[in-house]
Amino acid sequence: MEVINDSIYNHPRYYDLIFGADCAAETRFICDVNQKYLNNRATRLFEPACGTGRLMYNLAKRGLEVEGIDLNHKAIEFSNQRSKRHDLPQTAFVANMVEFQAKRKWDLAFNTVNSFRHLTDKPSALSHLRCMAKQTKRGGIYLIGFHLTPETEEPTDWESWSARRGNLSVITKMWTINRSRRKRLETFGMHFDVYTPTRQFRISDELKMRSYTQHQFASLVEETNCWDIAGTYDFTYDIKQPITVDSSSEDVVYILKKRQN
C-alpha cells in the first residue's frame, strides 16, 4: 500500500470521518453540561483546537453560537466550508491555543479527545488555561477531556477503529511508541488506512503528547489560580454518571469552573 508520511490533521476529510463516531454523544454531553452547570444560560461557546469543527457544526445546528480556533489551516478551511454549505456562520480561525484573543467572551468552552495534551510543556499548558479563563465569563465552564496516565495499572497502549461514508472507508490504529514518565512525554504512532473505489493508501503520523496523572492535572489546575474542578466524567459522556477519579482512571472529562476572584 502507498504510504504518505504526513500529519493526520492535514487530511481533514479522513480525520472528520474517523473522529465522527462519538460526535452525537459528545454534543449531547456538552448540552447536558450547559444544563447542569449553567442552567442552560450558555448561548455562546468556544472550542480551542477545534480541528474540522465536527462538534462546532453539531452545536451550531442546535442554534448555539460557537467560535473555534486551531493551528491547522486545512482543518479550519474544512470547518468553515462545511458551515458555509449549511448556511451557518463561518466562525473557525487559525490561532495557537497557548495564547490567543477570541472575538467575544463565552460561557462554556470544550476541548475533547486529548487536544489539550498537544501542549507538551508546562508553560504552554498553564498559559492556555489562564488565557481561557481570561476570556470565559464569570462562573463559566471549561470542559476538558483526555487520557490520564493510570498509576496502578498499565495504560492502554493501542486502539483501532473504523468508519465508512458512502464509498469512502477509513481504518485507523493508534499505538504507543515511547512513554517517558520522567519527561512526561508520550510518542504515539497513528495511521489512517484510506479505501476509495480507485485508490488505497496509508497516512502515517507520529504525535507527541504531555502526560498527566490525576495529581499532576489537579496541581496544574490549582496553580492557574483561575479554575476549580467542579465535576468529573468518563468517555461514556453520561451526565447522570459522574466518576470519582482515582489512580486507575484513564479516560476523564474534567468540568472546570472559573473562580469568582
Ligand X SMILES: C[S@@+](CC[C@H](N)C(=O)[O-])C[C@H]1O[C@@H](n2cnc3c(N)ncnc32)[C@H](O)[C@@H]1O
Phi and psi at residue 35, to the nearest 5°: -65, -50
Selected binder of ligand X within 58, 79, 80, 112 (CB under 6 A): 112
Grid cell of 234 as nine digits: 468518563
Selected binder of ligand X within 17, 45, 55, 102 (CB under 6 A): 55
By C-beta, is 41 or 204 nearer to ligand X? 204
Query: Is 203 within 8 Å of 14 (Cβ atoms)?
Result: yes
By C-beta, is 118 or 210 nearer to ligand X? 118
Selected binder of ligand X within 98, 126, 163, 229 (CB under 6 A): 98
Distances (CA, A) of 201 to 7, 158, 164, 197, 205: 14, 21, 15, 12, 13
Selected binder of ligand X within 91, 115, 136, 211 (CB under 6 A): 115
- The interface region with ligand X, picked from 27-35, 92-100, 149-157, 190-198 by CB under 6 A, is 92-100
Selected binder of ligand X within 96, 135, 162, 213 (CB under 6 A): 96
Q: State the nearest-atom distance from the C-beta of 198 to ligand X, in Å.
A: 27
Q: State the nearest-atom distance from the C-beta of 247 to ligand X, in Å.
A: 25
Helix and strand tally (H, E) in the chain? 6, 12
Query: Is 221 within 8 Å of 228 (Cβ atoms)?
Result: yes
Residues with Cβ within 8 Å of residue 63, at least 6 apart in sequence: none
Identify the three-state secondary structure at position 48: strand
Q: State the nearest-atom distance from the C-beta of 78 to ligand X, in Å.
A: 10
By C-beta, is 99 or 153 nearer to ligand X? 99
Q: What beta strand segments (E) does the chain contain?
A: 2-5, 44-48, 65-70, 92-94, 106-111, 136-147, 158-165, 168-180, 185-195, 200-210, 227-233, 251-258
Q: State the nearest-atom distance from the C-beta of 226 to ligand X, in Å.
A: 19
Q: State the nearest-atom distance from the C-beta of 250 to ligand X, in Å.
A: 17
Query: Is 119 within 8 Å of 125 (Cβ atoms)?
Result: yes
Residue nearest to ligand X (CB): 51
- The interface region with ligand X, picked from 107-115, 176-184, 195-203, 253-261 by CB under 6 A, is 107-115
- The residue ranges that bind ligand X (CB under 6 A) are 9, 19, 49-51, 54-55, 69-72, 75, 96-98, 112-115, 118
